[in-house]
């Protein structure tokens, strides 16, 4: 049996913990991915992390246990886009 498509969108303002801004499966996941691509938001595929993040209610900050894993995703996005946090040396 094929695993369902799943996607989670995160927002990080550089000051607070990242928040889940959207989450869904199947058609909703496809729309999240489509919007991200349309707006030039980098995508990273990590099935295990997405499944865990999908359990965080939309609008909530991610749990502290996920900070390191999500920090790696955010760093990946910064490198891909050539952007860096405001306090970056």
Give me the pLDDT at residue 3, please: 74
pLDDT at 88 > cutoff 80: no
Three-point CA angle 10, 13, 8, nearest 5°: 0
Tell me the pLDDT tens digit for each residue of 44-87: 899 999 999 999 999 999 999 999 999 988 888 887 877 766 66
For residue 50, give Cα distances in angstroms to 2, 15, 72, 84, 89.
16, 22, 13, 24, 30
Task: Tell me the whole-structure pTM to 2 decimals.
Answer: 0.82
Q: Which domains does the chain have, with CATH numbers?
A: 6-81 (3.40.1690.10)
Three-point CA angle 53, 68, 33, nearest 5°: 40
Tell me the pLDDT tens digit for each residue of 15-27: 899 999 999 999 9
62 contacts 2 by C-beta, under 8 angstroms:
no
Three-point CA angle 8, 52, 16, nearest 5°: 65
Give me the pLDDT at residue 32, please: 96
């Amino acid at each position: 049996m094929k695993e369902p498509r799943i996607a989670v969108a995160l927002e990080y303002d550089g000051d607070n913990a990242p928040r889940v801004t959207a989450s869904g499966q199947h058609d909703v996941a496809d729309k999240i991915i489509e919007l991200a691509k349309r707006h030039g938001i980098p995508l990273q595929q990590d099935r295990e992390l997405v499944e865990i993040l999908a359990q965080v209610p939309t609008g909530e900050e991610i749990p502290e246990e996920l900070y390191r894993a999500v920090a790696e995703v955010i760093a990946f996005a910064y490198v891909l886009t050539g952007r860096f946090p405001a306090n970056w040396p």
